[in-house]
Structure 1
Amino acid sequence: MTDTPQFDRRALRDAFGSFMTGVTVVTCRDAAGQPLGFTANSFSSVSLDPPLLLVSIARSSANYAAFTGAGGFAVNILSEGQKDISNTFARPVEDRFASVYWKDSDNGSPLIGNVSAWFDCALHHCIEAGDHAILIGRVLGFAATPAPGLGYYRGSYFTPADTATRLATGPEVVVSAVIEQGGQVLLADDGTGGLTLPTARVGRDGVSATLAGLIAATGVEAAPGFIYSVYEDVARGHQHISFLCPATGGVAATGSYVDLDPKALEDVTDPAMRVLLERLAEESRVGNYGIYFGDQNSGQVALVAKGKTP
């Protein structure tokens, strides 16, 4: 038997993330009849005859026992306007169904409204595979609508409408706030179980207003800082600007502070953003800062005076 090579988990996750997928919410009812659901992009068709599909669920999931023990489940393929639903079902929310329109399928699994498509399934087979289980479902009923699906690629959502807009108008500007305090940086849930910097697209009010809004939304006290990096994310059509914003107080209303340490930063899903934070960790250690210019893969750092933040 061939030994399994030991890969860097972060690098392997990034490589898996280079495959563009759709976004689904998988649902069932537990033994007490309560509706359960989780966001997943590990969905695939398997067979037309018999009609089979598959999704996977982490063995560490709180819903693992319920889904592997249920007689069936439903797969809801989210439409392009349902990012909020994806985020809700990816986070530890007490009642994920409270703000979502849904109804029961003929077989009792929750079906979410206004999706691109849904599949109601009986559990055909459950296969344990490493740190996940593969749920193979036999399709008992389905429906599809004209609504375009919601996509996911390298840690970010994309939609057909977004893509068309970018082609027509060129790169959009995206701003991130690097809020740092005492060797830690403020990170938020990216909606898929990973971490991200507070980030927003720049609107009509401009970059400064967008940055100020990002900081205010976190609940912490931090002055809008200086540019720390400027890079073009060619794959997403973004011009990305990050600002280093030292925090002076306050309690985070969203997200939490994470150590500026490569191990602690492993769950940052955007590779370019993670490299940015790893650079900040090193520069904070030696007290020699710089400003990055380039794209999401390569560029150069222009150093500023030693001991001074840019």
Structure 2
Amino acid sequence: MSAIDPRALRNAFGTFMTGVTVVTTRDPEGKPVGFTANSFTSVSLDPPLVLVCLANSSRNRAVFAETPGFAVNVLSEGQKHISNTFARPVEDRFEAVTWRDGPFGAPVLDDVSAWFDCSRHKLVEAGDHVILIGKVEAFDDSPAPGLGYARGAYVTPAMEARALASRADLMVSALIEHQGEVLLVPNDDDSLALPVARVGKEGVSAALAQLIAEHGAGIEPGFIYAVYEDDDAGCQHISFLCQAAGPVSRHGVFKALVPSVLAKIEDPAMRTMLERFAAESRIGNFGVYYGNQVSGKIRPIAAGSGSQ
């Protein structure tokens, strides 16, 4: 194998360190194993070191603790299904993907944004996790945008670009959650709604920031939860999932999304979205919705992308 180019490696690190990854190796019998992780971090450029974390409770823990090397595959934005597969207790996770052996021997997945094939440098016990530190022996990257994950939702550059491209009568709502309850604002007729604002010439980000500021401190802007065409209102609607530090707001109250509360949501499109959010919150699985107030598609995502 040729020597690692530090400048090229630095560029790859800078581009992909926040992405969702699948970490792979082979067990003592040569069978490929792997898990989804979002704790991939650059440690050093000289020597080139990276680390990933693996839960002690993982069924893969023993294999990765003894492996002479592993690969970190940074998934591209079209590979959410691979993230889901390697985050679940599937019998053969590699059956649904195409892959090959990397230069150092660990499985490298096809069509990823980047991969790093590593030899084992050190293993560090850290509470309920073990830290795997690898020395990069070979790597490659591609122009494919990476797949991100935050606050229970996948995030991709294309997803946000498509949602933010339209300026024709665009509405933004804040789905502000705190410990299972959602901030709802009363209307004059005693119905309820999410905080909503029309997007002006300043753009979506400014509208969301203003909407959050109006409802109090301690609310962190999140990521897109739903994008839909509200045909009844004649507008496009983008809802952002946000988190509140506490259950207090200048306007509105935090309420559990029980049937009696959902019945007070006057807007049928918003009510449908909140019914889905309530169902997903109960089972811990989330998805991003695209469509209109009548029908659409939900792109399912995993409940979390931590070590499995």
TM bracket, shorter-chain basis: 0.5 to 0.7
* Rounded Cα–Cα distance in structure 1 between residues aligned with 2:154 and 2:254: 21
* Rounded Cα–Cα distance in structure 2 between residues aligned with 1:151 and 1:119: 18
1:236 to 208, 223, 237: 223
The question of whether the paired residues in 1 share the 8 Å contact of 2:40 and 2:52 is answered with yes
Q: Give unpaired runs (5+ residues) of structure 1.
A: 1-19, 176-195, 197-226, 242-268, 296-310
* Rounded Cα–Cα distance in structure 2 between residues aligned with 1:237 and 1:171: 13
* Rounded Cα–Cα distance in structure 1 between residues aligned with 2:27 and 2:72: 16
* Rounded Cα–Cα distance in structure 2 between residues aligned with 1:270 and 1:93: 31
The residue that corresponds to 1:83 in the other structure is 80
**What amino acid is the match of 1:60?**
S
Give, in angstroms, the shift of residue 21 of structure 1.
3.1
* SS across alignment from 1:135: strand
The question of whether the paired residues in 2 share the 8 Å contact of 1:74 and 1:111 is answered with yes
The residue that corresponds to 1:97 in the other structure is 94
The question of whether the paired residues in 1 share the 8 Å contact of 2:42 and 2:50 is answered with yes
Give, in angstroms, the shift of residue 237 of structure 1.
3.9
1:149 to 141, 146, 151: 146
**What amino acid is the match of 1:236?**
F
What TM-score results when the alignment is normalised by the length of structure 1?
0.54
**What amino acid is the match of 1:140?**
E
How many equivalent residue pairs?
190
CA offsets 1:265-285 (integer angstroms, 9 cap, x no match): xxxx9968xx999824xx68x
The residue that corresponds to 1:108 in the other structure is 105
Give, in angstroms, the shift of residue 240 of structure 1.
8.1
Change (3 A) 1:110 1:277: farther
Change (3 A) 1:118 1:171: farther
Give, in angstroms, the shift of residue 129 of structure 1.
0.5
* Rounded Cα–Cα distance in structure 2 between residues aligned with 1:163 and 1:107: 36
1:24 to 21, 24, 27: 21
CA offsets 1:52-71 (integer angstroms, 9 cap, x no match): 00000000000000001101
Give, in angstroms, the shift of residue 107 of structure 1.
2.2
The question of whether the paired residues in 2 share the 8 Å contact of 1:231 and 1:239 is answered with no
CA offsets 1:228-258 (integer angstroms, 9 cap, x no match): 97566853244589xxxxxxxxxxxxxxxxx
* SS across alignment from 2:78: coil
Backbone CA RMSD of aligned residues:
3.6
What TM-score results when the alignment is normalised by the length of structure 2?
0.54
- Between the two structures, name the one with larger relative contact order (CA 8 Å, sep ≥ 6): 2
* Rounded Cα–Cα distance in structure 2 between residues aligned with 1:238 and 1:74: 31
**What amino acid is the match of 2:33?**
L
* Rounded Cα–Cα distance in structure 2 between residues aligned with 1:126 and 1:35: 20
The residue that corresponds to 1:163 in the other structure is 160
Give, in angstroms, the shift of residue 94 of structure 1.
0.8
